[in-house]
Amino acid sequence: MARCPAPPHRAAEARAAATAFVAQLHPTPSARTVQNLLLLSSELVTNAIQHAGAVTALSFKADSDTLHVRVADPSPAHPQSRVPDLTGRTGGFGWPMILRLAHRVTIRPLGREGKIILAVLAR
């Protein structure tokens, strides 16, 4: 497992961490899989910042068949799907995108300390 030394404060930091993680993998996943991992990481971190106020941890893991991205945040509230705002003011696109890109998404409550969202995609 690869943990980020400090929680990211921006989606760009999450993408950089995901890129560094993928660079250590052998064999390297396909370009499409890497792109999906970057997008998942970016969206999970963006959602945590926008809806929970912060990211408390970001980590990545790989096995022979899957890649995992894990984001922890301080809010116990689970993500909610909502109608996307086509005017671009309130969003609503991130969570459905995460659910489409990931093979599996699980949410683990941490009580008063928030939650962990784990997204798994095929390698």
The string of pLDDT tens digits covering residues 97-115 is 899 999 999 999 998 899 9
Structure tokens at 122: 């095929």
The helix (run of H) or strand (run of E) holding residue 41 is helix 31-47
Q: What is the DSSP letter of 9?
A: S
The string of pLDDT tens digits covering residues 41-89 is 999 999 999 989 999 999 999 999 999 999 999 999 988 777 666 666 6
For residues 31-38, average pLDDT? 97
- pLDDT at residue 90, as a whole number: 66
Are 55 and 49 in contact by the 8 Å Cβ rule? The answer is yes
- pLDDT at residue 94, as a whole number: 80
Structure tokens at 54: 């912060």
Please give the span between the terminal C-alpha atoms of the chain, in angstroms, as a whole number: 15
Are 41 and 22 in contact by the 8 Å Cβ rule? The answer is no
Higher per-residue pLDDT: 76 or 1:
76
